[in-house]
Amino acid sequence: MGSVIAWIMRHYKTAVWIYRGVLALLLLQAALGYGGPEAARLNWLAEIEDWLTAKTRDPIMVAFLVGLVCSTWLLPDAWKWWKKYFPTTNRTTLSVSGPHLHQSHPVIKCWRLIVQNGPTVASNVKMRLINIVPRPRYAAWFADYPYPLRSLAAGAAEVRINPNEEEHFEAVSGWPNSEEAFFTRGLDTKSADNPIRIEPDERWELQYAVTAENADPVYFSLEMFIENGAVMATRKP
């Protein structure tokens, strides 16, 4: 039984089409009687029908709802539970939360991102800034994408995240240099992390990608802007 389930999990799409084919054959048999009168009887279905007729007030609706609950609720949830606790491959899933504010200085706001891992070890996890829209007007911004983000634990080294654990990345920090001048750090990680100026009327969309050797990539965006004399960052829906 375990080997059959393992095969279904490895060949999920194939199993779905086999399942659909069996349903189609049963429907043809029930409707047209292929295989002779005996084959068309489906005695077990008749017994279920008799039981429902005797025990329920609306057997057709009960049968419909049972099928709907199994196909849209119980089976999908059971499948997700099995994949979470009994993975058959080294694939994992990544998710990102944040930005989270970390402020150890009265005027400098530091924004961090957290990558959460799924059921197996995530290998060679990388977070990169892949674009800023619109392009910052600051002349020192060269837009040499992608820019790697540093993790708090591993820095620029290869990042491995254990099952159901997380890793923190430094996204960007910002501070006011004067009433009309604001600077950010953490964007230009290729040039000794030079500060990049953001104007009070600018609103940047920072686009990121998180990748790993054994997980699908995750794409998301932050918005960066000036509000109440501070450099702010929020998650873009």
> Where along the chain do its domains lie?
2-85, 94-236
CB atoms < 10 A from the CB of 59, how many? Answer: 16
Q: Are strands 203-212 and 166-176 parallel, antiparallel or unpaired?
A: unpaired
pLDDT tens per residue across span 73-89: 677 777 777 766 666 56
Residue 60's pLDDT is 74
pLDDT in tens, 86-112: 665 688 999 999 999 998 888 899 999
The answer to whether 231 and 141 are in contact (CB under 8 A) is no
Q: Partners of 146 in the beta sheet?
A: none
Q: Which CATH superfamily is domain 94-236 in?
A: Immunoglobulins (2.60.40.10)
Of the two residues 10 and 37, the one the predictor is more confident about is 10
Tokens read off for 109: 């706001």
Per the listing, tokens 């295989």 go with 35
Rounded to whole angstroms, how far apart are CA atoms 153 and 123? 15
pLDDT > 60? residue 177: yes
**Torsion on CA atoms 151, 155, 157, 158, rounded to nearest 10:** -10
Number of residues written out for the chain: 237
- pLDDT value at residue 162: 94
SS3 30: helix
Q: What percentage of the chain has pLDDT greater than the value 70?
A: 74
Predicted pLDDT at 100:
96
Mean pLDDT of the chain: 82
Task: Provide φ and ψ at 219, rounded to 5°.
Answer: -115, 140
Out of 27-31, 47-51, 223-227, the most confident range is 223-227
Q: Which alpha helices (DSSP H) does 56-161 contain, by range?
A: 59-69, 75-85
Residue bearing the bigger pLDDT, 88 or 46: 46
Q: Which tokens hold the place of 123?
A: 């290998």
Selection from 51-55, 212-216, 220-224 with the highest mean pLDDT: 220-224
Mean pLDDT, rounded, for 25-30: 53
Identify the pLDDT of residue 31.
47
Which amino acid is located at 46 in the chain? A
- Determine the pLDDT at residue 203: 96
Closest Cα to residue 165, out of 209, 124, 121, 208? 121
- The partner residues of 133 in beta bridges, in order of sequence, read 205
117-131 residue pLDDT tens: 998 999 999 999 999
Contact 236, 204 (CB under 8 A): no
Res. 3: pLDDT tops 50: yes
Peptide bond into 134 cis (omega under 30): yes
Of 31, 86, 26, 30, nearest to 18 (Cα)?
26
Q: Which residues, listed in sequence order, are joined to residue 208 by a DSSP beta bridge?
A: 129, 220
- Could you count the other beta carbons within 10 Å of the beta carbon of residue 194? 15
Average pLDDT score over residue span 142-148: 94
CA neighbours closer than 13 Å in the CB half-sphere of residue 73: 6
